[in-house]
Structure 1
Amino acid sequence: MSVSDKTALVTGGGSKRGIGRATAHTLAAAGWNIAILDLDEASAKDAAHEIEEQHGVRAVGIGCDITDESSVENALAVLDDAVPPVGALVNNAGITSPIPFLQVTGQEWDRIFAVNVRGAFNVTRRIAPGMTERGFGRIVFLSSVSAERGGGVFGGVAYSAAKAAELGFTRALARELGPHGVTVNAVAPGLIDTDITGGALEGERKAQLLAGIPVGRTGKVADVADLITYLCREESGYISGATYDVNGGSHIH
Protein backbone atom coordinates (compact mmCIF):
# COMPACT_ATOMS: atom_id res chain seq x y z
CA MET A 1 0.00 0.00 0.00
CA SER A 2 1.30 3.40 -0.98
CA VAL A 3 0.47 6.77 0.52
CA SER A 4 0.82 8.43 -2.90
CA ASP A 5 -2.84 7.57 -3.60
CA LYS A 6 -3.96 9.13 -0.31
CA THR A 7 -4.25 12.59 1.14
CA ALA A 8 -3.21 13.86 4.57
CA LEU A 9 -5.48 16.62 5.82
CA VAL A 10 -3.93 19.14 8.23
CA THR A 11 -6.13 21.72 9.96
CA GLY A 12 -4.57 25.06 10.87
CA GLY A 13 -1.64 24.46 8.54
CA GLY A 14 -1.31 27.96 7.15
CA SER A 15 0.93 29.69 9.69
CA LYS A 16 4.48 29.95 8.33
CA ARG A 17 6.20 29.03 11.59
CA GLY A 18 3.58 26.65 12.94
CA ILE A 19 3.54 22.94 13.69
CA GLY A 20 0.78 22.38 11.11
CA ARG A 21 2.74 23.70 8.15
CA ALA A 22 5.88 21.82 9.17
CA THR A 23 3.82 18.64 9.50
CA ALA A 24 2.29 19.13 6.06
CA HIS A 25 5.78 19.46 4.58
CA THR A 26 7.04 16.35 6.38
CA LEU A 27 4.03 14.28 5.33
CA ALA A 28 4.48 15.47 1.72
CA ALA A 29 8.15 14.45 1.85
CA ALA A 30 6.92 10.97 2.86
CA GLY A 31 4.73 10.85 -0.26
CA TRP A 32 1.33 11.98 1.00
CA ASN A 33 -0.82 14.36 -1.02
CA ILE A 34 -1.78 17.29 1.20
CA ALA A 35 -4.88 19.27 2.05
CA ILE A 36 -4.62 22.28 4.34
CA LEU A 37 -7.60 23.90 6.02
CA ASP A 38 -7.02 27.27 7.63
CA LEU A 39 -9.13 30.23 8.69
CA ASP A 40 -6.74 32.35 6.61
CA GLU A 41 -7.40 31.17 3.06
CA ALA A 42 -4.41 33.04 1.56
CA SER A 43 -1.96 31.33 3.93
CA ALA A 44 -3.57 27.91 3.27
CA LYS A 45 -3.15 28.39 -0.49
CA ASP A 46 0.40 29.69 -0.03
CA ALA A 47 1.33 26.60 2.01
CA ALA A 48 -0.22 24.26 -0.59
CA HIS A 49 1.65 25.99 -3.42
CA GLU A 50 4.93 25.76 -1.50
CA ILE A 51 4.37 22.04 -0.80
CA GLU A 52 3.53 21.21 -4.42
CA GLU A 53 6.65 22.99 -5.63
CA GLN A 54 9.00 21.42 -3.10
CA HIS A 55 7.68 17.86 -2.95
CA GLY A 56 5.94 17.18 -6.26
CA VAL A 57 2.73 15.91 -4.63
CA ARG A 58 -0.78 17.22 -5.10
CA ALA A 59 -1.70 19.86 -2.53
CA VAL A 60 -4.72 22.04 -1.97
CA GLY A 61 -5.29 24.89 0.47
CA ILE A 62 -8.81 25.83 1.50
CA GLY A 63 -10.16 28.60 3.70
CA CYS A 64 -12.31 27.10 6.44
CA ASP A 65 -13.72 28.04 9.83
CA ILE A 66 -13.64 24.64 11.54
CA THR A 67 -15.98 25.86 14.29
CA ASP A 68 -18.74 26.19 11.68
CA GLU A 69 -20.25 22.94 10.34
CA SER A 70 -21.36 24.39 7.02
CA SER A 71 -17.90 25.90 6.43
CA VAL A 72 -16.39 22.44 7.04
CA GLU A 73 -18.93 20.81 4.68
CA ASN A 74 -18.11 23.32 1.93
CA ALA A 75 -14.35 22.94 2.37
CA LEU A 76 -14.47 19.16 2.30
CA ALA A 77 -16.72 19.17 -0.78
CA VAL A 78 -13.93 21.08 -2.58
CA LEU A 79 -11.46 18.55 -1.24
CA ASP A 80 -13.37 15.55 -2.58
CA ASP A 81 -12.91 16.81 -6.14
CA ALA A 82 -9.32 18.03 -5.83
CA VAL A 83 -7.24 15.29 -4.20
CA PRO A 84 -7.35 11.52 -3.46
CA PRO A 85 -9.29 10.22 -0.42
CA VAL A 86 -8.15 11.31 3.03
CA GLY A 87 -6.05 8.62 4.73
CA ALA A 88 -4.64 10.78 7.52
CA LEU A 89 -6.15 13.61 9.54
CA VAL A 90 -4.05 15.87 11.74
CA ASN A 91 -6.25 17.91 14.08
CA ASN A 92 -3.71 20.67 14.56
CA ALA A 93 -5.82 23.86 14.53
CA GLY A 94 -5.95 25.36 17.99
CA ILE A 95 -5.90 28.58 19.96
CA THR A 96 -4.45 29.27 23.37
CA SER A 97 -5.56 31.50 26.23
CA PRO A 98 -3.42 32.58 29.19
CA ILE A 99 -6.28 34.31 31.09
CA PRO A 100 -6.38 33.34 34.80
CA PHE A 101 -9.48 31.33 35.71
CA LEU A 102 -10.99 33.95 38.00
CA GLN A 103 -11.02 36.39 35.05
CA VAL A 104 -12.24 33.97 32.35
CA THR A 105 -15.62 34.87 30.84
CA GLY A 106 -18.08 32.33 29.51
CA GLN A 107 -17.49 33.78 26.06
CA GLU A 108 -13.72 33.21 26.31
CA TRP A 109 -14.26 29.64 27.58
CA ASP A 110 -16.56 28.89 24.63
CA ARG A 111 -14.11 30.43 22.15
CA ILE A 112 -11.29 28.13 23.30
CA PHE A 113 -13.49 25.02 23.25
CA ALA A 114 -15.03 25.97 19.88
CA VAL A 115 -11.72 25.72 18.04
CA ASN A 116 -9.85 23.08 20.01
CA VAL A 117 -12.69 20.63 20.70
CA ARG A 118 -15.76 21.38 18.59
CA GLY A 119 -13.59 22.19 15.58
CA ALA A 120 -11.80 18.87 15.85
CA PHE A 121 -15.18 17.14 16.19
CA ASN A 122 -16.60 18.89 13.10
CA VAL A 123 -13.73 17.78 10.87
CA THR A 124 -13.22 14.30 12.35
CA ARG A 125 -16.94 13.51 12.20
CA ARG A 126 -16.91 14.24 8.46
CA ILE A 127 -13.65 12.39 7.67
CA ALA A 128 -13.92 9.25 9.84
CA PRO A 129 -16.74 7.50 7.90
CA GLY A 130 -14.68 7.37 4.68
CA MET A 131 -11.69 6.00 6.59
CA THR A 132 -13.77 3.22 8.15
CA GLU A 133 -15.32 2.33 4.77
CA ARG A 134 -11.89 2.06 3.15
CA GLY A 135 -10.46 0.16 6.13
CA PHE A 136 -7.53 2.52 6.68
CA GLY A 137 -7.03 5.74 8.58
CA ARG A 138 -4.64 7.65 10.79
CA ILE A 139 -5.98 10.39 13.07
CA VAL A 140 -3.66 12.51 15.22
CA PHE A 141 -4.80 15.13 17.73
CA LEU A 142 -2.50 17.94 18.83
CA SER A 143 -2.98 18.19 22.58
CA SER A 144 -0.51 19.91 24.90
CA VAL A 145 1.69 19.36 27.91
CA SER A 146 -0.69 21.87 29.56
CA ALA A 147 -3.39 19.17 29.56
CA GLU A 148 -1.10 16.76 31.42
CA ARG A 149 0.58 18.99 33.98
CA GLY A 150 -2.33 21.41 34.46
CA GLY A 151 -1.29 24.54 32.58
CA GLY A 152 1.62 26.57 33.85
CA VAL A 153 3.39 26.98 30.52
CA PHE A 154 1.38 29.43 28.39
CA GLY A 155 -2.13 28.07 28.57
CA GLY A 156 -4.49 28.77 31.43
CA VAL A 157 -7.39 26.66 32.69
CA ALA A 158 -9.61 27.00 29.59
CA TYR A 159 -6.81 25.88 27.28
CA SER A 160 -5.69 23.05 29.57
CA ALA A 161 -9.28 21.80 29.89
CA ALA A 162 -9.82 21.89 26.12
CA LYS A 163 -6.56 20.09 25.42
CA ALA A 164 -7.44 17.48 28.05
CA ALA A 165 -10.79 17.00 26.30
CA GLU A 166 -8.82 16.13 23.16
CA LEU A 167 -7.03 13.35 25.07
CA GLY A 168 -10.35 11.81 26.08
CA PHE A 169 -11.60 12.22 22.50
CA THR A 170 -8.47 10.42 21.22
CA ARG A 171 -8.75 7.47 23.57
CA ALA A 172 -12.47 6.81 23.14
CA LEU A 173 -12.29 7.22 19.36
CA ALA A 174 -9.35 4.79 19.20
CA ARG A 175 -11.56 2.13 20.81
CA GLU A 176 -14.43 2.71 18.39
CA LEU A 177 -12.47 2.97 15.15
CA GLY A 178 -9.76 0.37 15.82
CA PRO A 179 -11.77 -2.53 14.36
CA HIS A 180 -12.02 -0.61 11.07
CA GLY A 181 -8.28 -0.16 10.49
CA VAL A 182 -8.18 3.37 11.87
CA THR A 183 -5.69 4.39 14.56
CA VAL A 184 -6.17 7.47 16.74
CA ASN A 185 -3.33 9.01 18.73
CA ALA A 186 -2.46 12.28 20.46
CA VAL A 187 0.75 14.29 20.50
CA ALA A 188 1.36 16.59 23.48
CA PRO A 189 4.06 19.16 22.68
CA GLY A 190 5.82 21.13 25.38
CA LEU A 191 7.61 24.38 24.66
CA ILE A 192 7.91 24.63 20.87
CA ASP A 193 9.33 27.67 19.07
CA THR A 194 6.33 28.93 17.06
CA ASP A 195 4.54 32.25 16.70
CA ILE A 196 2.27 31.31 19.61
CA THR A 197 5.23 31.17 22.02
CA GLY A 198 7.62 33.47 20.15
CA GLY A 199 7.16 36.77 21.99
CA ALA A 200 7.09 35.15 25.40
CA LEU A 201 10.42 33.42 24.93
CA GLU A 202 12.70 36.29 25.73
CA GLY A 203 15.28 37.12 28.38
CA GLU A 204 14.74 35.96 31.93
CA ARG A 205 11.51 34.12 31.16
CA LYS A 206 13.28 32.05 28.52
CA ALA A 207 16.18 31.22 30.84
CA GLN A 208 13.73 30.21 33.53
CA LEU A 209 11.80 27.91 31.17
CA LEU A 210 14.95 26.36 29.71
CA ALA A 211 16.22 25.55 33.20
CA GLY A 212 13.31 23.12 33.53
CA ILE A 213 13.99 21.28 30.25
CA PRO A 214 16.52 18.44 30.62
CA VAL A 215 17.60 18.50 26.96
CA GLY A 216 18.41 22.21 27.36
CA ARG A 217 16.56 23.76 24.46
CA THR A 218 13.11 24.67 23.21
CA GLY A 219 11.49 22.30 20.75
CA LYS A 220 11.48 22.83 16.99
CA VAL A 221 8.39 22.35 14.84
CA ALA A 222 10.27 19.51 13.08
CA ASP A 223 10.48 17.64 16.41
CA VAL A 224 6.68 17.41 16.42
CA ALA A 225 6.16 17.05 12.66
CA ASP A 226 8.46 14.00 12.48
CA LEU A 227 6.53 12.21 15.22
CA ILE A 228 3.14 12.93 13.64
CA THR A 229 4.40 11.62 10.28
CA TYR A 230 5.65 8.46 11.99
CA LEU A 231 2.20 7.88 13.55
CA CYS A 232 0.57 8.27 10.12
CA ARG A 233 2.60 5.49 8.46
CA GLU A 234 0.93 2.24 7.48
CA GLU A 235 3.57 0.45 9.60
CA SER A 236 2.35 2.24 12.74
CA GLY A 237 -0.95 0.38 12.70
CA TYR A 238 -0.48 -1.21 16.13
CA ILE A 239 -0.09 2.14 17.89
CA SER A 240 -3.48 3.51 18.92
CA GLY A 241 -5.01 5.37 21.84
CA ALA A 242 -1.58 6.61 22.88
CA THR A 243 -0.36 10.06 23.90
CA TYR A 244 3.17 10.97 22.84
CA ASP A 245 5.00 13.65 24.80
CA VAL A 246 7.37 15.95 22.90
CA ASN A 247 8.71 18.18 25.64
CA GLY A 248 12.44 17.59 26.03
CA GLY A 249 11.83 15.91 29.37
CA SER A 250 10.27 18.97 31.01
CA HIS A 251 7.26 16.90 32.10
CA ILE A 252 7.99 13.29 32.96
CA HIS A 253 5.16 11.19 34.32
Structure 2
Amino acid sequence: MDGPDLSDRTVLVTGSASGVGRELLLATADCGARTAVHYRTSAEAARDVAAAALERGAPEAVTVQGDVTDPDDVDDLFAVVESELGPVDVLVNNVGDFAPSHWSDLEFETWNRVIETNLNGTYLCSKRALPGMRETGYGRIVNLGYASSERGLVSPKNFPYFVAKTGVMMFTRMLAADTCDDGITVNAISPYVVENSDEFPEELPRGRPASFDDLVQPLYFFLDPDTGYVSGENIEVDGGWLPERV
Protein backbone atom coordinates (compact mmCIF):
# COMPACT_ATOMS: atom_id res chain seq x y z
CA MET A 1 0.00 0.00 0.00
CA ASP A 2 1.17 3.52 -0.73
CA GLY A 3 2.16 5.65 2.24
CA PRO A 4 3.43 9.17 2.86
CA ASP A 5 6.94 10.26 1.93
CA LEU A 6 9.03 9.88 5.10
CA SER A 7 12.42 10.06 3.42
CA ASP A 8 13.56 12.97 5.57
CA ARG A 9 12.05 11.71 8.84
CA THR A 10 13.33 9.74 11.83
CA VAL A 11 10.86 7.25 13.27
CA LEU A 12 10.96 5.57 16.68
CA VAL A 13 8.44 2.83 17.43
CA THR A 14 8.56 1.50 20.97
CA GLY A 15 8.38 -2.26 21.33
CA SER A 16 9.15 -2.77 17.65
CA ALA A 17 11.11 -6.02 17.87
CA SER A 18 7.93 -8.02 17.31
CA GLY A 19 4.18 -7.95 16.80
CA VAL A 20 2.27 -4.77 16.02
CA GLY A 21 5.27 -2.56 16.73
CA ARG A 22 7.40 -4.46 14.22
CA GLU A 23 4.81 -4.12 11.47
CA LEU A 24 4.24 -0.42 12.09
CA LEU A 25 7.95 0.29 12.02
CA LEU A 26 8.46 -1.67 8.79
CA ALA A 27 5.56 0.23 7.26
CA THR A 28 7.48 3.47 7.85
CA ALA A 29 10.61 1.88 6.36
CA ASP A 30 8.54 1.26 3.23
CA CYS A 31 8.11 5.06 3.08
CA GLY A 32 11.84 5.73 3.32
CA ALA A 33 12.08 6.74 6.98
CA ARG A 34 15.18 6.45 9.12
CA THR A 35 14.07 3.85 11.66
CA ALA A 36 14.87 3.14 15.31
CA VAL A 37 13.88 -0.33 16.50
CA HIS A 38 13.26 -0.26 20.24
CA TYR A 39 13.41 -3.34 22.47
CA ARG A 40 13.79 -4.15 26.14
CA THR A 41 15.12 -7.73 26.11
CA SER A 42 14.78 -9.04 22.54
CA ALA A 43 18.09 -7.86 21.09
CA GLU A 44 18.37 -10.48 18.35
CA ALA A 45 14.81 -9.94 17.16
CA ALA A 46 15.41 -6.19 17.09
CA ARG A 47 18.50 -6.65 14.92
CA ASP A 48 16.44 -8.78 12.53
CA VAL A 49 13.82 -6.02 12.27
CA ALA A 50 16.51 -3.41 11.62
CA ALA A 51 17.89 -5.55 8.80
CA ALA A 52 14.40 -5.97 7.36
CA ALA A 53 13.85 -2.20 7.56
CA LEU A 54 16.97 -1.59 5.47
CA GLU A 55 15.80 -4.13 2.90
CA ARG A 56 12.44 -2.39 2.66
CA GLY A 57 13.79 1.07 1.99
CA ALA A 58 14.99 2.65 5.22
CA PRO A 59 18.25 4.53 4.50
CA GLU A 60 19.38 3.90 8.08
CA ALA A 61 18.19 1.64 10.90
CA VAL A 62 19.43 1.31 14.46
CA THR A 63 18.39 -0.72 17.48
CA VAL A 64 17.92 0.92 20.87
CA GLN A 65 17.44 -0.81 24.21
CA GLY A 66 15.63 0.46 27.26
CA ASP A 67 12.75 0.20 29.69
CA VAL A 68 10.17 2.82 28.70
CA THR A 69 8.97 3.03 32.31
CA ASP A 70 12.39 4.19 33.51
CA PRO A 71 13.11 7.92 32.92
CA ASP A 72 16.88 7.37 32.70
CA ASP A 73 16.48 4.55 30.18
CA VAL A 74 14.13 6.68 28.08
CA ASP A 75 16.59 9.56 28.07
CA ASP A 76 19.44 7.24 27.09
CA LEU A 77 17.60 5.53 24.25
CA PHE A 78 16.48 8.86 22.78
CA ALA A 79 20.06 10.12 23.04
CA VAL A 80 21.22 7.14 20.96
CA VAL A 81 18.56 7.76 18.30
CA GLU A 82 19.38 11.47 18.15
CA SER A 83 23.09 10.74 17.84
CA GLU A 84 22.67 8.11 15.12
CA LEU A 85 19.66 9.37 13.16
CA GLY A 86 18.83 12.88 14.30
CA PRO A 87 15.85 14.21 16.29
CA VAL A 88 12.80 11.95 16.46
CA ASP A 89 10.17 13.27 14.04
CA VAL A 90 7.68 10.42 14.49
CA LEU A 91 7.07 8.59 17.77
CA VAL A 92 4.76 5.60 17.95
CA ASN A 93 4.01 4.61 21.56
CA ASN A 94 3.30 0.92 21.11
CA VAL A 95 4.59 -0.66 24.33
CA GLY A 96 1.90 -1.81 26.75
CA ASP A 97 1.53 -5.01 28.75
CA PHE A 98 -1.78 -6.85 28.68
CA ALA A 99 -2.55 -8.87 31.80
CA PRO A 100 -6.15 -10.13 32.16
CA SER A 101 -6.97 -9.62 35.82
CA HIS A 102 -10.28 -9.54 37.68
CA TRP A 103 -10.49 -6.97 40.44
CA SER A 104 -10.89 -9.62 43.13
CA ASP A 105 -7.64 -11.32 42.06
CA LEU A 106 -5.66 -8.23 41.08
CA GLU A 107 -2.24 -7.89 42.68
CA PHE A 108 -0.53 -4.52 42.92
CA GLU A 109 2.46 -5.80 40.92
CA THR A 110 0.19 -6.60 37.98
CA TRP A 111 -1.71 -3.33 38.31
CA ASN A 112 1.52 -1.34 38.44
CA ARG A 113 3.15 -3.10 35.49
CA VAL A 114 0.16 -2.58 33.21
CA ILE A 115 -0.29 1.08 34.19
CA GLU A 116 3.42 1.80 33.90
CA THR A 117 3.98 0.21 30.49
CA ASN A 118 0.81 1.52 28.85
CA LEU A 119 0.44 4.95 30.42
CA ASN A 120 3.71 5.96 32.06
CA GLY A 121 5.73 4.73 29.09
CA THR A 122 3.60 6.81 26.74
CA TYR A 123 4.08 9.84 28.98
CA LEU A 124 7.85 9.46 29.36
CA CYS A 125 8.59 8.86 25.68
CA SER A 126 6.33 11.68 24.55
CA LYS A 127 7.86 14.08 27.06
CA ARG A 128 11.35 13.20 25.87
CA ALA A 129 10.44 13.55 22.18
CA LEU A 130 8.70 16.92 22.45
CA PRO A 131 11.69 19.29 22.84
CA GLY A 132 13.21 18.09 19.56
CA MET A 133 9.86 18.26 17.78
CA ARG A 134 9.21 21.77 19.05
CA GLU A 135 12.67 22.89 17.96
CA THR A 136 12.13 21.67 14.40
CA GLY A 137 8.48 22.74 14.29
CA TYR A 138 7.33 19.29 13.23
CA GLY A 139 6.26 16.12 15.01
CA ARG A 140 3.89 13.20 14.87
CA ILE A 141 3.00 11.18 17.98
CA VAL A 142 0.75 8.15 17.58
CA ASN A 143 -0.39 6.24 20.67
CA LEU A 144 -1.82 2.74 20.74
CA GLY A 145 -5.15 2.54 22.54
CA TYR A 146 -7.88 -0.08 22.73
CA ALA A 147 -11.24 -0.20 20.98
CA SER A 148 -14.15 1.36 22.89
CA SER A 149 -11.97 2.68 25.72
CA GLU A 150 -13.22 6.19 24.94
CA ARG A 151 -16.78 5.04 25.51
CA GLY A 152 -16.25 3.90 29.07
CA LEU A 153 -15.99 0.20 28.25
CA VAL A 154 -16.31 -1.91 31.40
CA SER A 155 -14.25 -5.08 31.70
CA PRO A 156 -13.99 -6.55 35.21
CA LYS A 157 -11.66 -9.26 33.93
CA ASN A 158 -9.27 -6.77 32.26
CA PHE A 159 -9.26 -4.18 35.01
CA PRO A 160 -5.82 -2.52 34.86
CA TYR A 161 -5.54 -2.65 31.05
CA PHE A 162 -8.82 -0.84 30.44
CA VAL A 163 -8.01 1.78 33.07
CA ALA A 164 -4.61 2.33 31.44
CA LYS A 165 -5.94 2.59 27.89
CA THR A 166 -8.66 5.02 28.97
CA GLY A 167 -5.84 7.11 30.42
CA VAL A 168 -3.97 6.92 27.11
CA MET A 169 -7.02 8.39 25.35
CA MET A 170 -7.20 11.32 27.76
CA PHE A 171 -3.45 11.82 27.52
CA THR A 172 -3.69 11.92 23.72
CA ARG A 173 -6.31 14.66 23.74
CA MET A 174 -4.59 16.74 26.41
CA LEU A 175 -1.20 16.58 24.71
CA ALA A 176 -2.80 17.45 21.37
CA ALA A 177 -4.25 20.59 22.94
CA ASP A 178 -0.90 21.50 24.47
CA THR A 179 0.98 21.17 21.17
CA CYS A 180 -1.57 22.66 18.78
CA ASP A 181 0.65 25.67 17.97
CA ASP A 182 3.90 23.71 17.62
CA GLY A 183 3.51 21.87 14.32
CA ILE A 184 2.94 18.63 16.23
CA THR A 185 0.00 16.26 16.06
CA VAL A 186 -0.93 13.66 18.67
CA ASN A 187 -3.40 10.92 17.75
CA ALA A 188 -4.29 7.35 18.63
CA ILE A 189 -5.02 4.05 16.91
CA SER A 190 -7.24 1.67 18.89
CA PRO A 191 -7.58 -1.92 17.69
CA TYR A 192 -9.80 -4.64 19.11
CA VAL A 193 -8.33 -8.08 18.37
CA VAL A 194 -5.27 -8.18 16.11
CA GLU A 195 -4.04 -11.14 14.08
CA ASN A 196 -1.14 -11.87 16.44
CA SER A 197 -3.33 -12.02 19.58
CA ASP A 198 -2.85 -15.01 21.87
CA GLU A 199 -6.58 -15.69 22.13
CA PHE A 200 -9.58 -14.95 19.94
CA PRO A 201 -13.19 -14.52 21.10
CA GLU A 202 -15.75 -16.91 19.67
CA GLU A 203 -17.29 -14.15 17.56
CA LEU A 204 -15.27 -11.55 15.71
CA PRO A 205 -16.58 -8.57 13.74
CA ARG A 206 -16.53 -9.41 10.02
CA GLY A 207 -15.39 -12.90 10.90
CA ARG A 208 -11.71 -12.08 11.43
CA PRO A 209 -9.28 -10.14 13.63
CA ALA A 210 -7.69 -6.92 12.46
CA SER A 211 -4.72 -7.51 10.19
CA PHE A 212 -1.47 -5.60 10.51
CA ASP A 213 -2.37 -3.82 7.27
CA ASP A 214 -5.60 -2.64 8.91
CA LEU A 215 -3.44 -0.79 11.45
CA VAL A 216 -0.99 0.57 8.91
CA GLN A 217 -3.73 2.45 7.05
CA PRO A 218 -4.59 4.83 9.94
CA LEU A 219 -0.89 5.18 10.75
CA TYR A 220 -0.24 6.40 7.22
CA PHE A 221 -3.18 8.78 7.54
CA PHE A 222 -1.81 10.36 10.71
CA LEU A 223 1.71 10.63 9.24
CA ASP A 224 0.61 12.20 5.98
CA PRO A 225 1.79 15.84 5.69
CA ASP A 226 -1.69 16.80 4.50
CA THR A 227 -3.29 15.73 7.81
CA GLY A 228 -1.40 18.23 9.95
CA TYR A 229 -4.69 19.77 11.13
CA VAL A 230 -5.89 16.43 12.54
CA SER A 231 -4.85 16.12 16.18
CA GLY A 232 -6.34 14.70 19.35
CA GLU A 233 -8.21 12.07 17.35
CA ASN A 234 -8.61 8.33 17.72
CA ILE A 235 -9.25 5.82 14.95
CA GLU A 236 -10.77 2.57 16.16
CA VAL A 237 -9.79 -0.48 14.12
CA ASP A 238 -12.38 -2.91 15.38
CA GLY A 239 -14.58 -3.94 12.45
CA GLY A 240 -17.59 -2.23 14.05
CA TRP A 241 -17.33 -3.90 17.45
CA LEU A 242 -19.45 -2.02 20.00
CA PRO A 243 -19.83 -3.87 23.31
CA GLU A 244 -21.44 -2.57 26.46
CA ARG A 245 -19.52 -4.89 28.74
CA VAL A 246 -16.92 -7.61 28.25
**Same fold by TM-score, threshold 0.5 exceeded?**
yes
Residue 54 of structure 1, CA deviation: 2.3
* Offset, 1:140: 0.5
Amino acid at match of 2:118: N
* Residue in 2 that maps onto 1:110: 112
Describe the SS at the equivalent of 2:62.
strand
Q: How many residue pairs were aligned?
A: 239
Judging by fraction of residues, say which structure has more helix. Answer: 1
Aligned to 2:217, which of 223, 226, 229?
226
The residue aligned with 2:229 is 238
Answering whether residue 218 of structure 2 is matched by residue 217 of structure 1, we say: no
- Kindly state the Cα deviation for residue 114 of structure 1 after the two structures are TM-superposed: 1.0
User: Structure 1 residue 55: deviation in Å?
Assistant: 1.7
**TM-score of the pair, normalised by structure 2:** 0.91
CA RMSD of aligned residues (A): 2.0
* 2:136 counterpart of 1:123: no
Preserved contact between residue 142 and residue 187 of structure 2 (Cα < 8 Å): yes
Residue 6 of structure 1 aligns with an amino acid whose one-letter code is R
Per the alignment, residue 12 of structure 1 pairs with 15
Compare 36-45 and 136-145 and name the one that shifted more.
36-45
Q: CA deviation at 1:150?
A: 2.1
Contact 2:98-2:161 within 8 A present in 1 as well? yes
CA distance in 2, matches of 1:47, 1:151: 36
What residue ranges of structure 1 are gaps of 5+ in the alignment? none
Counterpart of 1:96 (choices 95, 98, 108) is: 98
- Partner of 1:55: helix, strand, or coil? coil
Equivalent-residue separation in structure 1 for 2:217 and 2:164 (angstroms): 24
Question: TM-score under structure 1 normalisation?
Answer: 0.88
Structure 2: state its 5+ residue gaps.
none
**2:83 aligned partner, one-letter code:** D
Give the C-alpha shift of residue 11 in structure 1.
Answer: 0.3
Distance 1:157 1:109 in 2: 8
Contact 1:173 1:184 in 2 (8 A): yes
- Structure 2 residue 153 is the aligned partner of structure 1 residue 150: yes
The Cα offsets for residues 149-200 of structure 1, whole Å up to 9 and x where unpaired, read as: 52559x7010000001000100000001010010000111011111xx23x2
Matches within 5 A, 1:37-186: 37-39=38-40, 40-145=42-147, 147-148=149-150, 150=153, 152=155, 156-186=158-188
Q: Which runs of 4+ in 1 moved over 4 A?
A: none
